[in-house]
Amino acid sequence: MTDRRKKQLLTALLAVFILMFAYRLLHPFEQERVAELTYTGQNRPGEEADAGNTALRPEFQVMLSLFREPPEHDGDVRNPDFFQPVPGLATPPPEPAPPPETAVP
């Protein structure tokens, strides 16, 4: 994309943004007002049956003690089985390094 094309695209997008901004300033969103709230604070008839059943709702507990007192780590590897050689597989020896190239006079 050439610089001229990029400038045209930027100008077009900037013009669209300015138009949208001006429209929003001239036509602000206003929330509709109601005379009376419909929420009474009581459960609906279908919700009363599940109110006592805690098996359906898992309880989550945040263990803040882990943040206040983080566990000590000593850095030792507890299970070094991942670093043991596999029996029956021999690792091939590494290839020798190529000889250095000499400069041609």
CB 50 within 8 A of CB 56: yes
Query: Which pTM does this prediction carry?
Result: 0.33
> How many CB atoms are located within 10 Å of the residue 83 CB?
7
R_g of the chain, CA atoms, integer Å: 35
pLDDT band for position 17 (50/70/90)? very high
pLDDT band for position 19 (50/70/90)? very high
pLDDT digits (tens, 9 = 90+) for 27-77: 988 888 888 888 777 766 665 555 555 556 667 788 888 888 888 877 776
Residue identified by tokens 């009581």 is: 42
